[in-house]
Structure 1
Amino acid sequence: MDVRDHGARGDAGGFLHQGLGEYRKLPTKKYPALERRETAEWRYWRNFASTTLSEQVNAVTSVSYGGMESGRATLATTSGARVTLHAPSGARKLRTFARFKDVAYSGVLRDDGRALAVGGQQGVVQLFDCGSRAVLRKFSAHVAAVRAVRWSGDKLHLASASDDATVRLWDISTGNCVRRHDGHKDYVRALERSPASGEIWASGSYDHAVKLWDARAGREAVMTFDHKVPVEDIAWYPNGNLLVSVGGEDVCVWDVLGGGRLLQRLRSHQKTITTVHVHDDAGPPSFASGFEMTGNSAIDAKAPRMITGSLDGFVKIHELDTFTVTHSIKYPGPVLSCSLSPDANCLATGLANKVLSVRRRKTPRNKDESSGYQGVRSKKKGYTVKKPRRLDAGHWRYFIRGQNSKTAANATRVLRQRRIHLAAHDRMLKQFRYGDALDAALHMRRSEVIAAVIEEVGRRGGLQKALANRDDESLLPILEYIEKNIAKPRHTAQMVNIANRIIDIYGSDVGASATVDNSLRRIQEKVKTQLRLHESLRQLQGMALMITGA
């Protein structure tokens, strides 16, 4: 039973208007806002807010967008022994291909969206008709699993990379292998065609090598790069001058035109990087970038970005001119593949925990957003005229009308006294019921309100009375609040004061309630942890001063 004294004693603390006797609401405690870097890149990727998550039959090993020439891109996902075609946002399934005896890999659509090429565990590359889902061709010269399949620029050839350490080029019309490239010594897991020339292909292998193949130079590799660790994926820059390889925790950028020299080695992930994707326009324009501008103004400048995914569950976006990470996205599982739609409105990611994630922009990039007032158009005598829009509740100016009007000099001003709505803790403070005010603030679970009430009650000299005469049930919320906030710098001083007062009041009752004792013990452990942390930081500071001084 609470036996606090609720008598109207104490100072109003400056919250009564002088001469009026009206109670003013207790202002909420305001703290400085935590620093957050809201860059243009952060605002751009925050727009990818609408997320579609769909469970697949197995780990999603490949995601890719194709069919751009048909007018609408299609998302192809490979999971287990199944390849599924989705709408760009991933919300709707269009086709499912399941004619595989074993695991399928690297399902890719042709640019016209009419054919699908898929590799497989049995070393067979299959070509499907997207309309009827019939098998058009089977290419079966590989003797091990085919992990990467890509279309040529002329749409008449296919390239495949296999675990038998070979890269093959196939003629679709005849079904024959027209070129075979040997030179790798381990599994070949990555394959990409150069955007600058349809005759140049790049492949990455578990033998740590990235090789360039040119059909005009024969079957031997024309250039070899040493990635130092097994290569998981590769991607070309949009202009075809630079090549990116990923594997282990490293991202390597190679200057192909400069003779294959290593331009940059990046390390921004904590686990193996499994996928890389380079998009020619996937971010806010960088005015310092040296890439081509398509218009007369800087607004039309393209903003190419590199996207990497890793087993640490992060997808990271890199700027191509400075090689810096501009944004990170956390996923609920290891990332195996990722791809950005051609219009940069959808980001598809395949995870190892059988989840396909597609993030969609709230406002499409290609949507024309006009900021001016357009008015209303109407038909009159066969031509269109522009009329001013009638001011109604459908326009924002309707709600601010009259605010700029000036009253006449002889006008009478009528003041209306508004009724102030008081929160529960304000009503208790108005009646000098400090204990109930503290309980009401704790019930709201807002730290800024609780801190303001404690500060005001202490200023009135009623903090001792607010904490006294409590049973274990009414004392426990205060102890839980102390435990939660005593380690936070903005609350530490206030929490230490409250904790000392509680120990002074209830020190003789320790042991009477197991619940209260456990809460006090947790607070003690938290304080000890903070003290140990401060001691470690002081030691590190001393070592840092010795290093910098030397």
Structure 2
Amino acid sequence: QSPVLVKEYAAVSSIHFSPSTPHDFAVTSSTRVQVYSSSTHAVKKTISRFKDTAFGARIRGDGKLLVAGDATGLVQLFDLNSRAILRTLRGHTGPVHVTGFSPENTQILSGSDDKTVRVWDVPTESSIAVFSEHQDYVRAGLTCSDNANLILSGSYDHTVKLWDLRANSCAITMEHKFPVESVLIFPGGGLVASAGGNQLKIWDILGGGRLLQAVSHHQKAITCMSFDGTATRILTGSLDHHVKVLNIQDYKVVHSIKYPDPVQSLAVSPDDTHLAVGMSTGLLSIRQRVVKAADKAAAQQKALRGGTRQFFTRGAAHRPEDSDLQIESRKKKRLRNYEKYLRAFQYANALDAVLAENRTAIIVVSLLEDLIHRGGLREALGGRDDRALVPIVQFILRKISNPRYSKLLIDVANVIL
């Protein structure tokens, strides 16, 4: 489908899709972060509570919180619903270009131009780890989704470092030989990718950081990269105006898209339906995948014929998604026996039923109050012999000493007498 083009105020430095449906996406540009709807491509929320240029906004896995850094060195945590600032993390002395959540959502990763990588504990707002072995700006980083103790970072000092939170130190250092702009960790955590200069490099972590592949499909520096929704393709964006799609089997280009301006950021939705690309001139391109006519025809052929058993049992195995609106069914309240008699104005039966069912004192007293208000107490007690009066008299003897019930029960006793 033809892309939707939106003009932002400044260069689009970061784009991130929400991992949870409906996969809205956060666009970082200038001093604000805008959250776009994946269905209407319109702005849903605007967060502009930054004192300087914002960087690297990321949406948490549940889609409820957003974290972003800024040029003053602050890392701020926002509630996406109210846009309120929930946490302000202070400690960096340079602009923070990298932010991200840990897989458990209780920690935040940040990388700064002060050459450090920090891990923050959200509940206490404190820094639990500081890695300072980089020699230049840290412009890329993320936490391993399969192991929250492993953190990958890339720097303008031409190195990619794998940090281990358990040892609080650098486990592996890989020499990219160009300023590193973006890094990725493959599913499973065995391989990582780094992009810098016009080269994409694949490293074997299990092999001690051994270089497996180096490819150069762009004419200028690669500024960003991302997996597709199934992690079978890698998309790279470059200053040469191109986004290229690589097959991870052989790292050859299977598709290429040209844009009007240098590409600075890109992201793919988890369901592979959207590709959002940000450019250095402030242009934001949103492409939506259209279902092919052949797929539609195949779906129509599979349509069930009315009147068949399959037609009537369709959807029985369907499970609702988190974004579905669930309408609760109202359960009809079942009346107790004494309530049924009361509704039928059978006051004597109602009194007998509530005493026979051994209901709590407050329920029996409430029924007696209701009978008094209805003027039906004499009708409920009248015409009874000695045996029929035993349950109510025993109840009065047990509860008349309770100050809460004594006045009412004295009135009932007077009616009996």
1:361 counterpart (260, 267, 289) = 289
Deviation of the 1:279 alpha carbon: 2.8
Q: Residue type of the partner of 2:32?
A: R
Partner of 1:225: 174
Structure-2 residue corresponding to 1:313: 241
Aligned position for 2:386: none
Q: For 1:364 and 1:146, how far apart are their aligned partners in 2?
A: 42
SS at the partner of 1:309? strand
Q: How does 1:59-138 map to 2 (within 5 A)?
A: 59-68=11-20, 71-88=21-38, 91-138=41-88
Q: State the match for 2:122 in structure 1.
A: 172
- Counterpart contact for 1:243–1:255, Cα < 8 Å: yes
Q: How many residues align?
A: 311
Show the counterpart of 1:144.
94
The structure whose residues are more often helix, as a share, is 1
Q: Within 2, Cα distance between the matches of 1:375 and 1:217?
A: 57
- Specify the SS of the correspondent of 1:370: helix
1:307-353 Cα deviation digits (max 9, x unpaired): 10000000000110111111110001000011100000100101011
Q: What's the counterpart of residue 2 of structure 2?
A: 50
Taking the aligned partners of 1:163 and 1:358, their CA distance within structure 2 comes to: 30
| Alignment CA distance shift 1:372-1:106 (3 Å) | closer
State how far apart, in whole Å, the 1-side matches of 2:308 and 2:104 are: 52
Tell me: CA distance 1:142–1:344, structure 2 relative to 1, closer, same or farther (3 Å): same
TM-score of the superposed pair, with normalisation by structure 1: 0.54
1:372, CA displacement in angstroms? 6.7
Distance 1:369 1:188 in 2: 50
Deviation at 1:379, TM superposition (A): 5.3
Q: Distance in 1 between matches of 2:273 and 2:291?
A: 8
SS in 2 for 1:101: coil
Determine the C-alpha separation between the residues in 2 that align with 1:66 and 1:375: 32
Cα distance in 2, alignment partners of residues 224 and 376 from structure 1: 57
- Rounded Cα–Cα distance in structure 2 between residues aligned with 1:61 and 1:261: 31
Distance change (3 Å), C-alpha of 1:360 and 1:182: same
Q: What is the match of residue 258 of structure 1? A: 207
Which of 1 and 2 has higher RCO (CA within 8 Å, sep 6+)? 1
**Cα offset, 1:50, TM superposition:** 3.2
Select which of 243, 265, 270 maps to 1:342. Answer: 270
CA RMSD of aligned residues (A): 2.2
- Equivalence map 1:397-476=2 (5 Å): none
Structure 2: distance between partners of 1:205 and 1:369: 50
**Partner Cα distance (2:10, 2:300) in 1:** 50
Once residues 25 and 292 of structure 2 are traced to their aligned partners in structure 1, the CA distance between those partners, rounded to angstroms, is 17
Q: Which residue of 2 aligns with 1:184?
A: 134
> Aligned runs of 1:468-507 on 2, under 5 Å?
none
SS at match of 1:269: coil
Shift in Å at residue 369 of structure 1?
6.1
Does the 8 A contact of 1:242 with 1:256 survive in 2? yes
Instruction: Say yes or no: does 1:244 pair with 2:196.
Output: no
- Is the 8 Å Cα contact of residues 196 and 223 (structure 2) preserved in structure 1? yes
Pairwise CA distance, 1:93: 1.1
**TM-score calculated relative to the size of structure 2:** 0.71
Task: Report Cα offsets for 1:99-123 as digits up to 9, x if no partner.
Answer: 1111000011001111110100000
- 2:53 and 2:37 mapped to 1: Cα distance? 23
Query: Is residue 214 from structure 1 mapped to residue 142 from structure 2 by the alignment?
Result: no
Does the Cα contact within 8 Å between 1:170 and 1:177 map onto a contact in 2? Answer: yes
CA distance in 2, matches of 1:82, 1:269: 30
Q: Is the 2:100–2:142 contact (alpha carbons within 8 Å) kept by the matching residues of 1?
A: yes
The 1:179/1:271 distance shift into structure 2, 3 A limit, reads: same
Q: Secondary structure at the match of 2:166?
A: helix
1:272 partner amino acid: A
Runs of 4+ in 1 over 6 A off after TM superposition: none
Matched, 1:203 2:173: no
Counterparts in 2 of 1:156-167, with a 5 A limit?
A: 156-167=106-117
Query: Structure 2 vs 1, CA of residues 373 and 77 (structure 1 numbering), >3 Å: closer, same or farther?
Result: closer
Would you say the 8 A contact 1:76–1:83 is kept in 2?
yes
Match of 2:217, SS state, is coil
> Which secondary structure does the structure 2 equivalent of 1:186 belong to?
coil
Q: Note if contact 2:181-2:223 (Cα within 8 Å) is conserved in structure 1.
A: yes
Distance (Å, rounded) in 1 between the aligned partners of 2:92 and 2:42: 34
Overall identity of the aligned pairs, in %? 39
Of 298, 310, 321, the match for 1:370: 298
Amino acid at match of 1:54: V
Where does 1:288-303 land on structure 2 (aligned, <5 Å)?
A: none
- Partner Cα distance (1:244, 1:111) in 2: 22
* Alpha-carbon distance, 1:57 to partner: 1.1
Equivalents in 2 of 1:375, 1:278: separation in Å?
A: 34
CA distance in 2, matches of 1:90, 1:52: 11
For residue 380 of structure 1, report the CA deviation from its aligned partner: 9.6
Asked if the contact 2:18/2:61 (under 8 Å) is kept, the reply is yes
1:370 to partner: Cα distance = 2.8
